[in-house]
Amino acid sequence: MRWLVIAAVLLAACRRERRHAASQSPTPNPTREPKVTTPPLPDSGACAYASVLLTPEGISLGTSADHHRFVASCAGAIDRVALDEAACELAQRPELACTESVELAARGGVPYADLVTVMDRLVSVGLPDVGLADEGSLSVAAASKDQRVPARCDQATAAPCPVRKLKLPNRVTLPAPQIDPASIPILTVDRDRIVLDRQLVMQTRDLGTSAALEQALLAHPMAAQGSVILQVDRSVDAQSVNAITKILYLARYHSIQFAVQRAP
C-alpha cells in the first residue's frame, strides 16, 4: 500500500479553552523532522480568529471580523480552484495579519481525503497552524450559501496567491529535539481497524466506547517523543479522524504527520 504524506498539523484542543494553550507549528515538508515550536495562539484582543468548516455541500471559510465565504461542491467533489481563491483571500485578510492559525472542522459524510486537501491548501497560502476541532467549538459561524464564491468547476488552476505580509508577535522558539524518523510510531486507520506499528489495537467502530487506543499510545516506547504518523484510508469519515486526533492529543502526541493513501 502506497501513502503520500501531505502535511504535519498540530491538533488543537477540542474546546474553546485551547485558545489560551500553547500550539505547535506544522511543517508542510514531510521530509523534515516534525516542528516542536510553541507559538501562542493569537490573543483575542489583537487578532481575529479564522475558521473553516467542511460539509458534504461545500466549504465555509470565515473570520471573527465578519468575513464569510462559501465554496460549493462540484457534483460532490471539492471545487479546488474556488477553494484556492477563497483560502488565499482568507489568508490575505488584514485582521489575520498577526496570526498563522486557523481552526478546521468537518461534518459527517466528509471523507478524510477532503480534509487533507483543505489542510494542504491552508498551509500553502500561509496558514500552517491548523487546529482540528468540533464544529460546535469553532470561533466563527459557518457561512450561508448566499455567501458563496463563483464556481470554478471547469477551471484547472487558480492564480498564484501573494506572499502574506505578517505582523507576528514575538515568539519563543524551542530547540527541536533530535528525533530518529524511523522511531516515530505509525498509526494506520481504515474503515474496519486501527493498527499501531502493525499491531491491531481495536476496531474502528469502537472508537467512541473503548479506551484501547489511548492506552496503546501511552504504553508505546516512543510515547515521550510526542510524534506520530497518522495513515488513514481515503474513504474513512473525517469525523472518525477527528475522534482519533482528540485521543492523540489526550495521549500527548502533539506532532502529527497526516498521510493519505494514494489514489490507484
> Does the structure show a pLDDT above 60 at 37?
no
Within 10 angstroms of residue 220's Cβ, the number of other Cβ atoms is 18
How many domains does the chain divide into? 2
Do 196 and 118 share a structural domain?
no
* pLDDT at residue 177, rounded to an integer: 59
Confidence of residue 257 (pLDDT cuts 50, 70, 90): confident
Confidence of residue 52 (pLDDT cuts 50, 70, 90): very high
> Does the structure show a pLDDT above 90 at 171?
no
> Does the structure show a pLDDT above 50 at 254?
yes
Structure pTM?
A: 0.74
Tell me whether residue 165 is in a domain. Answer: no
Domain that holds residue 195: 181-261
Do 187 and 140 share a structural domain?
no
Q: What is the mean pLDDT of residues 140-155?
A: 91
Do 142 and 85 share a structural domain?
yes
Per-residue pLDDT tens digits for 92-108: 999 999 999 999 999 98
Tell me whether residue 71 is in a domain. Answer: yes
Residue that terminates a domain, selected from 147, 166, 194: 147
Q: What is the mean pLDDT of residues 204-210?
A: 90
Tell me whether residue 254 is in a domain. Answer: yes
